[in-house]
Amino acid sequence: MNRQINHLLQQFELGLLSKAEREQLLSFVDDNPDFVIDEIVKMMLKEEDQPISSAPVDEKWNTTVDEILSIDKVPTRKVSLFSKLKWVAAAIVVLTFSLTSLFYLNKKKERVYYSDVMPGGNKAILTLADGRKIALNDIKNGDLIKESGISISKTADGQLVYNIEQTTNGNTDDSKLNTITTPNGGEWEIRLPDGSSVWLNAASSLKYPLNISKSKVRLVELTGEAYFEVKKDKEHPFIVKTDKQKLEVLGTHFNINSYADELVTKTTLFEGRVRISAINDPSRFELLAPGEQSILSSKGIDVKTVDVDEAIAWKNGYFMFNNERQETILKKIARWYNVQIEYMDPEAKDVMYYGTVSRFEKISKVLRKFEQTGEVRYDIKDNKVLVYKD
């Protein structure tokens, strides 16, 4: 994200922002003002450290600051920025005022939607080994159930926690499996009995044995998307199976995106090392290092270096798009807001976006961000979003 903002600020400084770039920059200013300010500071300090261009840059910014401050000063008074701190601060003021004015001019163009949709939240269904189902968002905090030497409880912040209790024989039944499922518009955090933590995104499910901490192989099955922080245990490898791939790990942090309506399975590694293989051909495998992402498709497994923040943005409360097609983006929107997407103009599927938007705004505010590019517009009818190409 910082590379995008840096590029946009440079274009802004040179007066070369395109319409689409202007809307991207306005979006960053709206959602991440502190981050943008930090990038401005870095740019100014970097420019001043270059002796070849420092003089003209100082002169340019001094002139610009003089013009802005001239309203409140005696005409004959000369403004001088004696220190680096003052020069940087003035540059921030100039850019911030300019961006803010652009932002408020742009706000005048916002349309009114006649219906709206609230964002998703903590919602999940726990299916026990005997088939019983518990709606986790409907129950009070505290113990939910005690079964086979394991206590399952819900914490105040919505986390599902498993604790192994003392049993007469010291063992539990390996065949007993629990499944936690999030609907469209839901997410949930689970702490497994082995100490590993899993965050489930919307429209996802995780199946795991109650006795996972005592199993020789800690095997779980995932559909949809989840972020894992696996407890290290060299004697008990952790394996995640999806419908298309198998991931093996000893202890690490990673994100898997494996929705049934997506053509590829993406695995992004944050820490440690994992081995990715295809379910239909175990001989096809790759080892991932931190900062790498594997993309499993019908053509095989590709590995590339990525911005890991993008992969885990959903867990941190954001949608983050890096030159991404609208069709892919709106699938994420549909899962989180539990809406249907209907394209009135099919070519709207191919519009590309950069940007970051909060997941906890009403859907209207998210859609307005996209409309600011001038390439698309939307209507909201009940739980359906109609997409038009402008």
d(CA 158, CA 150): 19
- What pLDDT shows up at residue 282? 87
Rg over alpha carbons for the chain, rounded to the nearest Å, is: 26
pLDDT digits (tens, 9 = 90+) for 31-42: 676 666 666 766
* Spatial distance between the Cα atoms of 244 and 281, rounded to a whole number of angstroms: 10
pLDDT confidence of residue 266: 97
For residues 305 and 358, membership in a common domain is answered with: no
With H, G, I as helix, E, B as strand and everything else as coil, classify residue 333: helix
CATH of the domain at 325: 3.55.50.30
Asked whether residue 39 falls in the same domain as residue 158, the answer is: no
Environment class of 140 (CB within 10 Å of its CB; exposed 0-12, middle 13-18, buried 19+): exposed
Tokens of 225: 């998307």
Last residue of a domain, one of 279, 310, 341: 310
Of the candidates 286, 310, 334, which is a domain's last residue? 310
Minimal CA–CA distance to 163: which of 210, 124, 207, 209? Answer: 210
Predicted pLDDT at 108:
46
CA distance 132 to 335: 25
Instruction: Specify whether 221 is located in the same domain as 352.
Output: no
Residue 39 lies in a domain: yes
Q: Going by C-beta distance under 8 Å and a sequence separation of 6 or more, which residues neighbour residue 186?
A: 120, 121, 122, 123, 124, 137, 202, 203
Do 35 and 138 have their domain in common? no
Q: Is residue 83 located within the same domain as residue 40?
A: yes
Q: How far apart are the C-alpha atoms of 369 and 25, rounded to whole Å?
A: 11
Per the confidence metrics, is the pTM higher than 0.85? no
Residue segments in the chain with a per-residue pLDDT below the cut of 50: 48-58, 60-61, 64-65, 67-94, 97, 100-101, 104-108, 167-170
Q: Are 209 and 266 in the same domain?
A: yes
The verdict on 59 and 158 lying in the same domain is no
Residue 79, CA atoms < 13 Å, CB-side half-sphere = 22
Does residue 247 lie within any of the structural domains? yes
Cα 192 to Cα 138, 155, 221, 231, 312, distances in angstroms: 21, 14, 13, 10, 20
The verdict on 20 and 85 lying in the same domain is yes
Helices of type H across 49-174 = 51-69, 84-107
Do 168 and 290 belong to one domain? yes
> Considering 84, 107, 130, which residue would you say is the last residue of a domain?
107
Q: Could you give the number of structural domains in the chain?
A: 3
The answer to whether residue 115 is domain-embedded is no
In this prediction, residue 20 carries a pLDDT of: 66
197-253: pLDDT as tens digits: 999 999 999 999 888 888 889 999 999 999 999 998 888 899 999 999 999 997 799
Residues 132 and 86 in one domain: no
Q: Are 352 and 389 in contact (CB under 8 A)?
A: no
Which structural domain range is residue 165 located in? 121-310
Q: How distant, in Å, are the alpha carbons of 249, 279, 285 from that of 246?
A: 10, 6, 9
Residue 306 CA to residue 268 CA, distance in Å, equals: 8
CB atoms within 10 A of CB 73: 11
Q: Can you state the angle between helices 19-31 and 33-48, rounded to 10 degrees?
A: 110
Residue 116 domain-assigned (yes or no) = no
- pLDDT for position 71: 42
